[in-house]
Amino acid sequence: MSLLTAAPVETIVAPSVDFVAIMPVLILLGAAVISVVVEAAAGRKARYPLQVGLSAVAILGAGAWTVVAGSKSHFAVTLAGAISVDQATYVMWGILLALALVSVLLMADRVSEPGGAFVAQAAARIGSARDRTAALTATPMQTEVFPLTLFAISGMMVFPAASDMITLFIALEVLSLPLYLMCGLARRRRLISQEAAVKYFLLGAFASAILLYGIALLYGYAGSLRFADIAAVSQAGGRNDLLLLIGMALLVVGLLFKGSVGPFHSWTPDVYQGAPTPVTAFMASCTKVAAFAAMLRIFMVAFEPTSWSWRGVMWAVAIASMLIGAIIGITQTDLKRVLAYSSVAHAGFLLLGVISLSEKGVSSTLFYLLTYGFATIGAFALLTLVRSGEGEAPHLSAWAGMAKKSPVLAGIMTLFLLSFAGIPLTSGFIGKLTIFTAATESGMAPLVVVAMVATAITAFFYLRVVVLMYFAAPVPVTGGVDDSETVAVALPGAFTMIVIAVCAAVTLLLGLLPSAVIDLLTVHFPLLS
Amino acid sequence: MTPTYYLVLSALLFGLGAVGVLVRRNAIVVFMCIELMLNAVNLSFVTFSRMNGNLDGVVMAFFVMVVAAAEVVVGLAIIMSIFRSRRSASIDDANLLKY
């Protein structure tokens, strides 16, 4: 008796689609497809303005739609329960699109690195004649990065809105696959860029296979792929709990990997260092938003009834993440790696908000993601400006005495670093304050104490950079023969200038006048599913 | 024959794939082990679909196949590009990024 003969023949009813609710995703996906066509059809010169314009317009359009539909409270669970668009979704989308717009502008800059941060021809073998000519003549960058970015942003939009496991998995892959490629497109130091792409790809694919096995076991447990059904079945109980527990563990490991949390962070420093800096900024801000927003929904909707079984483990993961990020970060000498370990530590803080499982926890996590995202993009944007003969100079020694070379750059960098450290009057302080308050109210006071200690440790390595910039003498030119080691501050192009100004303004404003934004980002339960 | 056997087989295949990812050195072989893991999961999905008596798992298996194909495209492109510059597909040779 096979399944097909046993099951009664059902007529398949086409699911209803609420186009108004999912329009922001459709705008971005549509723009991504058009962008591929532009890449193929438009002339070499015309591509760059077309691609930048298209990406910016698509993100702005999706953002405007999100704001309007969100303010009208147009909520829906659509596509046969695959996507839920509720108030939390709109907030997540808004944050994601704001950060994505800034990242895309940073990618589009072709001034501080002549020709752009991306390689002129990714297919040209490193060291071949074609590759060297492109490097010498500063051939303009490939614009393939824009369609890839648009696809990645679409995946990131669907990821936190997903309400069943199929959509979750597809969205995860749609956001990951373009990112793997984008990591390998750096113009300078192409070998380490390609190495970062290989590492990210192999580890990422490994993690998604683990996540997928988790999904399979949860499906075996609940008999359904929808979050709400999994919650209902686990609440009723009476089934094989082993499947539930192992499935949950594997699924969460996959998600924690994407969010570069705690013991699953091993790819983060290498990939952040090797990838082109604008892509690193994009990954550090937008991927984190997507991963944590998706975690919020899964924990709140699917795993809330079984929180007794996983909360203890998540405590351990959060502690591990905070301490690993803080302690290993101290030993780093490359600013990109410092920021990578800082992102691991921040992932631990964010996890506090996620496992609070309260309205306040969700709201504070989203606010923290906003503050952290803008500060990170700003810091990476500044990093693209400090250059030596062989491109960016991310080594900490290059930043010694920066306040004398460029007081403005040193000042703004200090602002971002203070925000990471959570010093009052910056957005980072408000972010930490809200998240720690939410965690304490959910009975996680011991965890908050650990978080405080981790904050103090991370403050050490942020302030070390500040001290280096203000109180250390610039390192003299070593060797004295060639001047490739001379560190200079490049004049930013218009796009980078806008990015830095916006990030600095947001970091200051959210630190001084946070209440309006916090009100806007406050999520009201219940989440639809 | 009970469906449980298929689940055990799937778990074994998944474990083999995972071990392969961790111990093999050649990027292509590592990648093949990841594909083995995905296909092991597919076996689980189909088996659970039969046990649960609905078609969700079968649908998911199709999606996994599509995603695996897309992953091959991206993965082989990345591995090819690093192979062309290094003349080696060993993941132990890619060691510029550390500390």
**Model confidence over A356-371: pLDDT tens digits?**
999 999 999 999 999 9
Residue A116 is given by DSSP the state: -
CB A253 within 8 A of CB A264: yes
CB A410 within 8 A of CB A403: yes
- The residues with which B26 forms a beta bridge, in sequence order, are B90
CB A271 within 8 A of CB A135: no
* Least Cα separation, residue A177 to chain B (angstroms): 7
Q: For residue A116, give the amino acid letter.
A: G
Q: What Å distances lie between residue A240 and A221, A223, A246, A305, B90, CA to CA?
A: 7, 12, 11, 16, 42
DSSP string of B53-74? TSSHHHHHHHHHHHHHHHHHHH
| In A223-358, alpha helices (H) | 227-236, 241-258, 267-274, 277-282, 288-297, 307-330, 335-354
Domain membership flag for residue A6: no
Instruction: Kindly determine whether residue A205 and residue B98, on different chains, have CB atoms separated by under 8 Å.
Output: no
CB A300 within 8 A of CB A230: no
Residue-level pLDDT at A108: 93
Q: Write the ipTM.
A: 0.96
Instruction: Kindly determine whether residue B56 and residue A219, on different chains, have CB atoms separated by under 8 Å.
Output: yes
Mean pLDDT of A378-402: 88
- pLDDT at A14 exceeding the cut of 90: no
Question: Using one digit for the tens of pLDDT, what is the confidence trace for A406-446?
Answer: 999 999 999 999 999 999 999 999 999 999 999 999 999 99
Residues A398, A399, A401: CA angle, nearest 5 degrees: 110
Residue-level pLDDT at A479: 45
The token pair at A280 is 């690193």
Question: Using one digit for the tens of pLDDT, what is the confidence trace for A230-242?
Answer: 999 999 988 888 9
Instruction: Residue A276: name the closest of A345, A205, A200 by CA.
Output: A200
Instruction: Kindly determine whether residue A205 and residue B97, on different chains, have CB atoms separated by under 8 Å.
Output: no
Instruction: Kindly determine whether residue A219 and residue B82, on different chains, have CB atoms separated by under 8 Å.
Output: no
Question: Using one digit for the tens of pLDDT, what is the confidence trace for A182-223?
Answer: 999 998 888 899 999 999 999 999 999 999 999 999 999 999
Question: Using one digit for the tens of pLDDT, what is the confidence trace for A64-83?
Answer: 999 999 999 999 998 888 99
CB A210 within 8 A of CB A253: yes
**Total domains, chain A:** 1
Residues in chain A, overall count: 529
* Least Cα separation, residue A271 to chain B (angstroms): 8
Residue-level pLDDT at A481: 43
What is the C-alpha separation between A105 and A126, in angstroms, rounded?
Answer: 27
Mean pLDDT of A297-306: 92
What is the C-alpha separation between A348 and A341, in angstroms, rounded?
Answer: 11
CB A253 within 8 A of CB A207: yes
Q: For residue B67, give the amino acid letter.
A: V
Q: CA neighbours within 13 Å on the CB side: how many for B5?
A: 2
Q: Per-residue confidence at A9, pLDDT binned at 50, 70, 90?
A: low
What is the C-alpha separation between A395 and A399, in angstroms, rounded?
Answer: 7
Phi/psi region, residue A164 (left: phi>0; alpha: psi -120 to 50; beta: rest), is: beta
Residue of B nearest to A270 (CA): B97
Checking DSSP bridges between strand A83-85 and strand A76-78, what pairing results, if any? antiparallel
Instruction: Residue A169: name the closest of B51, B84, B66 by CA.
Output: B66
Q: How many CB atoms lie within 10 A of CB A369?
A: 28
The token pair at A333 is 């000498």
What is the C-alpha separation between A181 and A39, in angstroms, rounded?
Answer: 16
The token pair at A490 is 């490049």
Burial class (CB in 10 A: 0-12, 13-18, 19+), B26: middle
Mean pLDDT of A146-157: 96
Mean pLDDT of A493-521: 93
What is the C-alpha separation between A83 and A346, in angstroms, rounded?
Answer: 28
CB A527 within 8 A of CB A301: yes
Mean pLDDT of A511-519: 90
Mean pLDDT of A469-476: 81
Q: Which of residues 118-137 of A touch B (CB under 8 A)?
A: 122-123, 125-127
Domain membership flag for residue A4: no
B40: Cβ contacts below 8 Å, ≥ 6 apart: A213, B10, B11, B12, B13, B14, B16, B17
SS (H, E, C) A258-276: HCCCHHHCCHHHHHHHHCC
Instruction: Kindly determine whether residue B57 and residue A216, on different chains, have CB atoms separated by under 8 Å.
Output: yes
Residue of A nearest to B22 (CA): A206
Chain B residues within an 8 Å CB radius of A195: 82, 94, 96-97
Residue-level pLDDT at A392: 86
Instruction: Residue B65: name the closest of B47, B43, B33 by CA.
Output: B43
CB A28 within 8 A of CB A63: no
Domain membership flag for residue A2: no
- pLDDT at A49 exceeding the cut of 90: yes
pTM assigned to the model: 0.94
Question: Using one digit for the tens of pLDDT, what is the confidence trace for A113-142?
Answer: 888 888 888 888 888 888 888 777 778 888
Mean pLDDT of A493-519: 93
- Across chain A, mean pLDDT equals 91
Q: Which of A126, A195, A220 is the closest to B96 by Cβ?
A: A195
- The residues with which A489 forms a beta bridge, in sequence order, are A386
- pLDDT at A4 exceeding the cut of 70: no
Segment-wise mean pLDDT, segments of 10 residues, chain B, 99 residues: 90 96 93 96 95 92 95 94 86 76
Domain assignments of chain B as residue spans, ordered by start: 25-86
Expressed as residue numbers, the domain containing A202 is: 15-521
- pLDDT at A269 exceeding the cut of 70: yes
Instruction: Residue A509: name the closest of A415, A417, A393, A426 by CA.
Output: A426
Chain B residues within an 8 Å CB radius of A202: 21, 27, 30-31, 34, 75, 91
Disruptive mutation site among B12, B28, B85 for chain A (greatest number of A CBs within 10 Å): B85
Residue-level pLDDT at A478: 53
Question: What b/e sequence results for A320-339 when a residue is b if at least 16 CB atoms lie within 10 Å of its CB, and e otherwise?
Answer: bbbbbbbebbeebebbbbbb
